[in-house]
Structure 1
Amino acid sequence: MKTTTYKIYSSIAQLPSTWDEVAYENAFLQTHYLKVLEESAPTNMQCFYIGIFKESELIGVALAQYLNLNKLESFGERDKCFKTYIRNFVFRNFGSHALFLGNNMITGQNGYVFNKKIDIKSVGELLNECANEITLYFKKQNIKIHIVSFKDFYQDCSAELKKSAFSKMYEFNTQPNMIFKLLPQWKTNEDYVASFSKKYRDQYKRAHKKFEGIETRELSLDDIISQESRIYELYHHVAKNAPFNTFFLAKNHFSSFKKQCGNGFILVGYFLNKELIGFHTLLLNGITLETYFLGYDEQVQKEKMLYLNMLYNMTKYGIENQFKEIIFGRTALEIKSSIGAEPVVMSGFIYHNNKLIDKYFDKIFPRLEPNLAWQQRHPFK
């Protein structure tokens, strides 16, 4: 640790020339993705890029995001109850300035990567130091960071962090990450469907029957630009009806993504009578296929089982293009398990800069989480 240092950057133009070599294993820390954030991050988000050096050699890169929740139009409109009102009040007044070490826009351990071996204890210490420096940066601008969170660690990492650098922080587990490990014997979509038990094969057939009349096609950059307003309208409908939001995407986010990432970003449109009524997006990250944001017309979704068909289509793409796994993220757990995804627990660590609030965070935080009851499905024979 004595010879390990870090530097925090606020612009992609400032990054060291070897950044992408170090970030090779994770597309979400490479500059083409970071440029998407720089061009089209949510309006309430500011990104920081962290270079970690061994003497003068860049050996690790990380991402931090500041969120001003006061700029949000809504925290989510689906659950209208007293608990939701209290949660919103607490966040507005005691947690509106939040700093995340990691990427709050995607699910998974995508906050840092190293190309040289480094122990997890040192990683935690470095992330802590970076959080303190960014907090001080905002303090000098008369902005007090309320909450600092280190997000999305798999259980082996979180266990080590809990023993060392994050030992005094509150560890939380929100909804699990739904991950679908694709079996190597599935060479075609037909192989996948054949592995269902009768109940879930019937579900697949019923969904496809409902889907008749809808055309799907991958959209080019020009297509996305021409449909940008409609794409955003469909996304925004789904996003604002989520149980909880900390940001809303910028209106140019999807065209910026396609422009910067090219074939690494896929947007598939769903058309009924030549009108765009839904879309889903995919991010290609090595052997992993990551699902991203989607949107749909609520009425068509109900009539055509549109969301379920999107899940089947994303799975088909993963199988046919020989990905090893699909990251489906944290929402709609039960329906995702019905197509084969399984829950993987991920931990985050969090503290409040008000010592009194932080002392009771283990009591406060669980009361702010939306209630979740779901039944895991087991679709295969």
Structure 2
Amino acid sequence: METTYSYEIYNHTDQLPQNWNDLGSKNIFLSKEYLEILEKSAPLNMTCHFIGLFEKQDLVGIAVSQFLDLNKLESFGDRDQCIKAHIRKLILKKFSSHVLLIGNNMLTGQNAYVLSEKADPVKAIRTLKKVAENLKYKFKSIGKKVHITTFKDFHHGSLNNFKIDEFKTNYKYCIQPNMTFSIPAHWKTEQDYIDSLSKKYRDQYKRARKKAIGIEKRKLHLEEIIAYEETIYDLYAHVARNAPFNTFFLAKNHFRVCKETLKDNFLFYGYFLDTKLIGFNTLIKNGKSMDTYFLGYDDSIQREKMLYLNMLYDMIAYSIKKEFKEIIFSRTALEIKSSVGAKPVEMFGFMEHSNPYINKQVYRIFPYLEPTVDWKERNPFKE
């Protein structure tokens, strides 16, 4: 019996099988439309491939891979200037600058692949391991040797599928959790959320809302996103550069392409003070889940107006009103997201270095590659 499926690797979305979205409709981040966004406006240091898994002629799985060339980055994030951050940059430049992912480095969550109901997940993962080897060979042939191969962001329940020989030499890692906000079915309005908060966190809500008086929030349409493109990118880049660690920076046209391609499934909210755009956030509708995407803000105003916290409350209010089941808040700003009610969900990955000696030391090196974050989990709800 075959232990793997056959597969095709696609460079462009116009090569995808006609029925790609039969599976892509299960996760918007693997739909043809979202993959088109990656094709048109991926970060400059990223090369994407799209993968179809087949049983005979039947499409039984779809996946995405990304190759990151970290040598093309001017900055890995400028917030941390400690010795550990310098060591991290040195390791990345010297030994790990070419990274191949099965998954999406721009997102948090299980977005690497989608399988049909009849597909065998172990067989699919075996096949994706072969795909990764094929891609490594392709990149080597154009002078880009892959240093690290990683399968990224899997829930605990998926880990048994990786207990196969092909992953014996892989380092299993668990990085910062995916902050997920579950919306109870009986909540119908923002007031239901407010009423569920304990006094301390209701006071936090009121204080944040009071601070934001004078700020106008509005949904931007494509023409406005295009008109404000320079400002939007400056606000995004400011936040991205002040992150503790970054492996990519978005292309300037990314938000425009998102709106053009995803249309009503992509939401862009601008925040204005005295008619000046001082912040924005973006959301992507993914079935019954609302995924938070990228944002940006003017830091001096953010602090004074508690803008980021207000954005979180706005996202919660909208998602309750539109009857979503959960909000995927991703893995940054863990404590403040926890303070509005998001809970941490552990995500796992598997990593292998192409140099066998270095690979045996990955467990020592990894803590330098992934900054640790000390944070305290909050529970804002009444007991």
TM-score, structure 2 normalization? 0.98
Distance 1:165 1:123, change over 3 A: farther
* 2:113 is the alignment partner of 1:128: no
SS in 1 for 2:37: helix
Deviation per CA, 1:304-354: give whole Å up to 9, x if none. Answer: 000000000001111000000000000000000110100000001000001
One-letter amino acid of the structure 2 residue matched with residue 346 of structure 1 = M
Task: Tell me the distance in 2 between the aligned counterparts of 1:91 and 1:318.
Answer: 38
Report if the CA contact (8 A) 2:115-2:121 is conserved. Answer: no
Pairs aligned (count):
381
Task: Tell me the distance in 1 between the aligned counterparts of 2:133 and 2:156.
Answer: 25
Task: Tell me the distance in 1 between the aligned counterparts of 2:34 and 2:55.
Answer: 25
Percent identical residues: 52
- Any unmatched runs of 5+ in structure 2? none
Task: Tell me the distance in 1 between the aligned counterparts of 2:159 and 2:263.
Answer: 34
> Which structure 2 residues correspond to residues 149-160 of structure 1 after superposition, within 5 A?
149-160=150-161
Task: Tell me the distance in 1 between the aligned counterparts of 2:64 and 2:82.
Answer: 35
* 2:287 is the alignment partner of 1:286: yes
Q: Which residue in 2 is equivalent to 1:233?
A: 234
Q: Which residue in 1 is equivalent to 2:35?
A: 34
SS in 1 for 2:163: helix
* 2:215 is the alignment partner of 1:214: yes
One-letter amino acid of the structure 2 residue matched with residue 277 of structure 1 = I
Q: How far did residue 118 of structure 1 move? A: 2.4
Deviates more, 1:257-266 or 1:362-371: 362-371
Q: CA RMSD in A?
A: 1.1
One-letter amino acid of the structure 2 residue matched with residue 178 of structure 1 = M
Task: Tell me the distance in 2 between the aligned counterparts of 1:109 and 1:58.
Answer: 20
Task: Tell me the distance in 1 between the aligned counterparts of 2:165 and 2:25.
Answer: 28
Q: Which residue in 2 is equivalent to 1:64?
A: 65
Report if the CA contact (8 A) 1:121-1:164 is conserved. Answer: no
One-letter amino acid of the structure 2 residue matched with residue 368 of structure 1 = L
SS in 1 for 2:167: coil
Task: Tell me the distance in 2 between the aligned counterparts of 1:163 and 1:335.
Answer: 38
Report if the CA contact (8 A) 2:5-2:124 is conserved. Answer: no
Q: How far did residue 114 of structure 1 move? A: 1.4
Report if the CA contact (8 A) 2:45-2:69 is conserved. Answer: yes
Deviates more, 1:118-127 or 1:265-274: 118-127
Report if the CA contact (8 A) 1:186-1:319 is conserved. Answer: yes
Report if the CA contact (8 A) 2:53-2:124 is conserved. Answer: no
* 2:24 is the alignment partner of 1:17: no
Q: How far did residue 13 of structure 1 move? A: 1.2
> Which structure 2 residues correspond to residues 1-381 of structure 1 after superposition, within 5 A?
2=2, 4-163=5-164, 165-381=166-382
Report if the CA contact (8 A) 2:5-2:123 is conserved. Answer: no
TM-score, structure 1 normalization? 0.98
Task: Tell me the distance in 2 between the aligned counterparts of 1:367 and 1:221.
Answer: 40
Deviates more, 1:137-146 or 1:163-172: 163-172
SS in 2 for 1:331: coil
Task: Tell me the distance in 1 between the aligned counterparts of 2:184 and 2:249.
Answer: 35
- Any unmatched runs of 5+ in structure 1? none
Task: Tell me the distance in 2 between the aligned counterparts of 1:98 and 1:160.
Answer: 23
